Amino acid sequence: MELFWYIVLMTMLTVYVILDGYDFGAGIVHLFFAKKEKDKKAITNAIGPFWDANEVWLIASGGVLFFAFPTLYAASFSGFYLPLIMILWLLIFRAIGLELRGQIHNSIWETIWDKAFGIASLLLALFFGIALGNVVRGVNLGMVTNGVPVHESHYFFLPLWNPTFSPTTEHLGIIDWFTILLGIIGVVALTIHGANWIIFKTNSDLNDKLKRIVFRLNFALLGLVVISLLVWHIIEPKPFHNFIKTPWLWIFPFITFTGLFGLFFIKRFKKDGQGFIFSALFLFGGITTTVASIFPKLLPSTNTINPDLTIYNMAADDYGLSVGVNWFIVAIILVIIYFTIQYKVFKGKMDNVGYGEH
């Protein structure tokens, strides 16, 4: 049962990154590339009917984490308390930036909420990349100091950064050069993903420009991915041990690079949705590759005193996990029905939706 709920949790988080990821990316495009009012409206129209439903996947993932791996939920929500609060406020400002902009037709008012939407989207993409870096790197479980644990084995607390800005020091911070690297990868990848969604869902004048931007950013993304793979050895001496032990897992890196290299042909695609498919493949492959590399760890320990938090030592009781399956089946059927209706109603281009007009 632990493995089943682990797969459910990781699937939900992956779906969240792919779906709400294009919202973040659209916000970044809105911040840097949308100069005309009609371009800004095209971007908000593209995500307007979807963004709030996409965020539900994050809430649902938190619910599954609380239900299936409660000790990990308790440890991570206390250990990552400060950045989680920051993410919460960023989600709020991104939402109200979208909703309040059209309430008053005044240039100052609209500029304020445009910036709130764009900057919040940018920082969310950065923070979620940094969060992935923290999971890959691990934390000092038990707050071990000079070989002596100060707290119980699953407890930790991280400041935003440490004085050395190093991912290999004893007392770690949320932000170091390794987690910043993954944060930048997150920003670039989601900018590409959001641009592809805008191209897919609108006939905006921005589309040709966005194709050129995606093509150029993809070179940066490829370089960043290669660098991250090289420095991964500093964090984990044997980063590919699971892939060597279980060869079929190589399908996930293959999917990652299929999506990455496919984006270099963005200018040649005959259908607007093809770019979005390739960027979604990259995100899916990148997340599943990362998950497969650290399995069965949920949160690695950076010290040798306390063990890693895994799906086996963090899972709830078998009885509770078994009962939850019945409710999960009901929930997933309702979710499938909802999203099928939603994407059927809002299929095609969204230029004339008029989202946010009041």
Backbone angles phi, psi at 219, to 5 degrees: -65, -45
Q: Which tens digit of pLDDT belongs to each residue from 308-349?
A: 899 998 888 888 888 888 888 998 899 889 888 988 888 888
Looking at residue 326, its amino acid is N
Confidence tier at 356 by pLDDT (50, 70, 90): low
Confidence tier at 1 by pLDDT (50, 70, 90): confident
Q: How far apart are CA 167 and CA 115, in angstroms?
A: 32
Q: How far apart are CA 317 and CA 355, in angstroms?
A: 46
Rounded to an integer, the average pLDDT of 247-274 is 92
Among 319, 317, 299, 316, smallest CA distance to 308 is for 299
Confidence tier at 277 by pLDDT (50, 70, 90): very high
Q: How far apart are CA 27 and CA 33, in angstroms?
A: 10
Q: Write out 44-94 in H/E/C secondary structure.
A: HHHHCCCHHHHHHHHHHHHHHHHHHCHHHHHHHHHHCHHHHHHHHHHHHHH
Rounded to an integer, the average pLDDT of 169-188 is 92
Looking at residue 134, its amino acid is N
Q: Is 139 helix (H, G, I), strand (E, B) or coil?
A: strand
The predicted structure's pLDDT at residue 349: 82
Rounded to an integer, the average pLDDT of 116-145 is 92
Q: How far apart are CA 50 and CA 261, in angstroms?
A: 28
The predicted structure's pLDDT at residue 355: 66
pLDDT tops 80 at residue 28: yes
Burial of residue 186 (number of CB atoms within 10 Å: 0-12, 13-18, 19+): buried
| CB 172 within 8 Å of CB 140 | yes
Q: Give the end-to-end CA distance of the chain in Å, rounded to a whole number.
A: 49
More confident residue, 353 or 213: 213
Question: Cis peptide before 296, with omega less than 30 degrees from 0?
Answer: yes
Q: Which tens digit of pLDDT belongs to each residue from 142-168?
A: 888 877 777 888 888 888 888 888 888
The dihedral region occupied by 137, where left means phi > 0, alpha psi between -120 and 50, and beta the remainder, is: alpha
Rounded to an integer, the average pLDDT of 103-123 is 89
Rounded to an integer, the average pLDDT of 226-244 is 87
The predicted structure's pLDDT at residue 69: 93
- Helix ranges restricted to H, the chain: 2-32, 37-47, 51-68, 70-79, 81-100, 107-137, 177-201, 207-235, 241-245, 251-262, 273-294, 318-345
Rounded to an integer, the average pLDDT of 242-247 is 91
Q: Which tens digit of pLDDT belongs to each residue from 29-71?
A: 999 998 888 888 889 888 988 888 888 899 999 999 999 999 9
Q: How far apart are CA 144 and CA 164, in angstroms?
A: 18
Rounded to an integer, the average pLDDT of 124-150 is 88
The predicted structure's pLDDT at residue 315: 86
Token pair of 258 as six digits: 């299929």
Confidence tier at 197 by pLDDT (50, 70, 90): very high
Q: What percent of the chain has pLDDT over 90?
A: 49
Q: What is the mean pLDDT of the chain?
A: 89
Instruction: Provide the residue ranges of all domains of the chain, joining segments of one domain with +.
Output: 2-345
pTM of the model: 0.92
The predicted structure's pLDDT at residue 357: 61
